[in-house]
Amino acid sequence: MLDLGGTAKKSDALAPVVESVCHFKEASMSDQPVERYEESELYRIRHSCAHVMAQAVVEMFPEAKYTIGPPIENGFYYDFDLPRTLTPEDLQAIEKRMRQIIAGKHAFIKKVVSAEEARLIFKDQPYKLELIDGLEKGSLDEYGNPLESKPDISIYQHDKFTDLCRGPHVEHTGQLRPDAVKLMNVAGAYWRGDEHNKMLQRIYATAWKNKPDLERYLQQLEEAKKRDHRKLGKDLEIFFFDDEVGPGLPLWQPNGGIMIEELERLAKEVEDKAGYFRVRTPNLCKEDLFLHSGHLPYYAESMYPPMEMEGVKYYVKPMNCPMHHKIFGSRPRSYRELPVRLAEYGTCYRYEKSGELFGLMRVRSMQMNDAHIYTSEELFEQEFMGVVALYRQYFDLFGIEKFVMRLSLHGKEGLGKKYIDNERLWIKTEDMVRSAMKNGGVPFVEAANEAAFYGPKIDVQIWSAIGREFTLATNQVDFAQPARFNLSYVSKEGSEETPLCIHRAPLSTHERMIGFLIEHYAGSFPVWLAPEQVRIIPITDGHHEYALRLEKQLRQAGVRASADLGAERMNAKIRQAQLMKTPYMLVVGDQEVANEAVSLRCRDGSRQDGMPVGEFAARVQERIKSRSSQL
RNA sequence: GCCAACGUAGCUCAGCCGGCAGAGCAGCCGCUUCGUAAGCGGCGGGUCGCGAGUUCAAUUCUCGCCGUUGGCUCCA
């Protein structure tokens, strides 16, 4: 069962993205000391701004209950329990008041207090009292996570505002720039991140050292919007959603269809060479299979409800693995044939909650670059790293550099609930993965409590244009399901052994992969992936015949080319092709017709006049064949 | 699912306090035959997301639903 659900969370200050991003090419990056965000000036600025904002809010709503307000990437937030919903006008008023407070040059004064003193100070602030309890009794931090040692209880005071806080802060508000802070939006957020708790109002803000930095950041946000796959997907006619079809159910237009075909072609080529067998399994099956696998009733919430025929319930599959297990188990297996690698671009359906949908990145219907590898323990490391090598091959091909490989581990508390209750096997397989990664020299970070329920995994985390984090690809070890399905092979010694299963999806799902690639390339796809590779632009209609001949010739050479026979002027046609980010434009007029040539314009604006048709065709074919990123 | 904002022509958007809707681009039809990012003119196109309610009158106000977006939760 591959989960590409990913984490749709903006990374917070406790896990700064920048520090943990790995680049394969810089595998030994440890010699570069990175300033910890928590110790940086920006952190102090943002933390201090949060206090100033809280003061402004409390002044506006004397009955406000304030909770926590940490710095995050690019800014900070603060959560409040307020008597009414905040409006955009409120934000303006708060921002205005913040500027006044900042201008007051109030000092931030730290004081260490006893729990009793703290309780007295915050006697009207129930959330603060809860935090104080946590600090005192349970040694919990503000998120409710255990701390290693019992911390001091400290308060920070500036102007007329006091907050429970461990700091650090700037010395006084004069060190903050009133024109470098901007309140961004209001969002709901559960107290302590628990959906059973009260929903608070969170104000997000961004804060910088100075105005140019703020402006640069806002500019970046604008740029990010331009490469947002939802916008480009519409503009480039790749996919769309339709109300009548349903949320999270993308419709692929011809351009998207081409990209899907290209990705599948790539996967097949690579997997054929790597010894995978392609299988095909149905999109739905009887309830029995998912009862057997253990996904029902536990996973039912994420599955479309069953349909019943002749008294039998059928489910649309949310994952392919149980069916692949059936194929592995369809006959006795020998150790000689291991590893068995079964691959399928399987179509799955998952009922993601409505609020969790996000363009192509989080959908309800998906096609996974799925495969299940059944292997012995001896062959595990080699096989697992073979999969990691596949990732690297793909990521090199796409030039994907910003990502993190994350070893997702079990959490002790979850054993028997979230995770298969066998700590020995957990630790064993986690060690197997860890040492495989280390032996392979692949950088990775570790994260507790992120594993699949049947085993640890390596997730590849990427970020969307607007900064949301997702699991793009995943490589999971499964020490539980093969036994559930009584899968076995006969060992050299003649004994029956249970194989390990590796679930992997290096090319993610078509949906998430293409969503990601749209943003990664900002729509300017490499030639092999570009829906339209060549646009032929005749200068006058006297050149239409030649343009059509070129079109035919190129298509027969396996190039996606089309001639633009519209009545617009050449300049307009070029503009249209540029907007569609078509890699090559061939302008043809009298000179080209006379010489059996083309005037090549690439989408980067470069030009090469008088190129013989044969030369151009050979160039495109070479780019396609090698999947080059060059034009 | 939860909190909030938004939903006007294919697209991007305008439409102050209620008086039966407008632009640019795209499309179609002409004219133009042009050398590397928008030639000119004309025409067509909207149950103002859907359903109720208030009102003499609702795109505009209220409620419900659907969808999208920003977050939260979830991601087994």
Query: Is the peptide bond preceding residue A318 cis, with omega within 30 degrees of 0?
Result: no
Closest nt by CA–C1' to A575: B37
pLDDT digits (tens, 9 = 90+) for A59-90: 999 889 999 989 988 899 999 998 888 887 78
Going by C-beta distance under 8 Å and a sequence separation of 6 or more, which residues neighbour residue A148? A139
Residue A237 (CA) to nucleotide B17 (C1'), in angstroms, measures 41
Q: What is the pLDDT of residues A252-292, one digit of tens each?
A: 999 999 999 999 999 999 999 999 999 999 999 999 999 88
CATH of the domain spanning A534-626 = 3.40.50.800
How many Å from the CA of A428 to C1' of B74? 28
**What is the dihedral angle through the alpha carbons of A360, A366, A371, A374, rounded to the nearest 10 degrees?**
120
Residue A26: per-residue pLDDT: 35
Query: Shortest CA–C1' contact from A246: which nucleotide?
Result: B67
In this predicted structure, the answer to whether residue A307 has a pLDDT above a threshold of 60 is yes
For residues A233-240, average pLDDT: 92
Architecture of the domain spanning A247-280+335-520: 2-Layer Sandwich (3.30)
Q: Which residue has the higher pLDDT, A412 or A77?
A: A77
Are A224 and A471 contacting, i.e. CB atoms less than 8 angstroms apart? no
Q: What is the pLDDT of residue A280?
A: 95
Distance A544 CA to B71 C1' (A): 53
The dihedral through the CA atoms of A102, A106, A112, A116 has a sign that is negative
Note the CA–C1' distance, A84 to B62, in angstroms: 19
- Dist. CA A114–CA A405, nearest whole Å: 43
d(CA A226, CA A523): 10
Distance A606 CA to B23 C1' (A): 35
Distance A151 CA to B10 C1' (A): 61
The protein residue nearest B40 (Cα–C1') is A568
The Å distance, CA of A460 to C1' of B50, is 42
pLDDT at residue number A31:
44
Give the residue nearest to nucleotide B34 (CA to C1').
A569
Read off the pLDDT of each residue in A324-331 and give the average, rounded to a whole number.
95
Through-space separation of residue A402 CA and nucleotide B64 C1' in angstroms: 45
Nearest to A334 by CA among A372, A371, A374, A373: A374
Rg for chain A (alpha carbons), in Å? Answer: 29
d(CA A279, CA A277): 6
CA atoms A416, A417, A420, A425: torsion sign = negative
Return positions of chain B under 7 A from a protein CB: 1-5, 11-12, 26-27, 30-39, 66-76
Nearest protein residue to the C1' atom of B37, measured from CA: A575
pLDDT tens for each residue of A134-184: 887 766 666 666 666 667 888 898 888 889 988 788 888 898 898 999 998
Spanning CA of A60 to C1' of B44, the rounded length in angstroms is 54
The residues spanned by each domain of chain A are 38-223, 247-280+335-520, 534-626
Distance CA A553, CA A547 (A): 10
Max CA-CA distance within chain A?
93
Q: Indicate the CATH number of A38-223 among 3.30.980.10, 3.30.1360.200, 3.50.80.10, 1.10.150.170.
A: 3.30.980.10
Residue with minimal CA–C1' distance to B39 is: A569
Q: How far apart are CA A85 and CA A72, in angstroms?
A: 23
Name the pLDDT band for A595 (thresholds 50, 70, 90). very high
> Can you tell me which residue has its alpha carbon closest to the C1' of nucleotide B66?
A243
Nucleotide nearest to A228 (CA to C1'): B69
Fold match between A38-223 and A534-626?
A: no
Rounded to the nearest 10°, the torsion over CA A371, A396, A462, A584 is -110
Nucleotide nearest to A8 (CA to C1'): B75
Q: Which residues contact A488 (CB under 8 A, 6 or more apart)?
A: A332, A333, A482, A496, A497, A498, A499
CA distances (Å), origin A15, targets A9, A21, A36, A98, A490: 11, 11, 10, 28, 46
Which three-class secondary structure string do you get for A305-347? CCEEECCEEEEECCCCHHHHHHHHCCCCCEHHHCCEEEEEEEE
Secondary structure letter of residue A301 according to DSSP? G
Q: Identify nearest nucleotide to residue A603 by CA to C1′ distance.
A: B37
Q: For A587 and B57, how far is CA from C1' in angstroms? A: 59
Name the pLDDT band for A382 (thresholds 50, 70, 90): very high
Using the structure, give the distance in angstroms from the CA atom of A343 to the C1' atom of B48, rounded to a whole number: 50
Taking the alpha carbons at both ends of chain A, their separation in whole angstroms is 39
The ipTM is: 0.92
Two tokens, residue A476: 């999971």
Whether the CB-CB separation of A307 and A313 falls below 8 Å is answered with yes
Write down the mean pLDDT value for chain A: 87
Q: Which nucleotide is nearest to A186 (CA to C1')?
A: B4
Cα A386 off chain centre by:
23
Taking the C1' atom of every nucleotide in all shown strands and the CA of A568, the nearest one is B39
Q: Which nucleotide is nearest to A599 (CA to C1')?
A: B36
Q: What separation in angstroms does the CA of A410 have from each of A234, A383, A403, A449?
A: 40, 22, 22, 5
CA of A418: nucleotide with nearest C1': B76
Residue A6: the pLDDT is: 43
Backbone torsions φ then ψ of A368, nearest 5 degrees? -95, 140
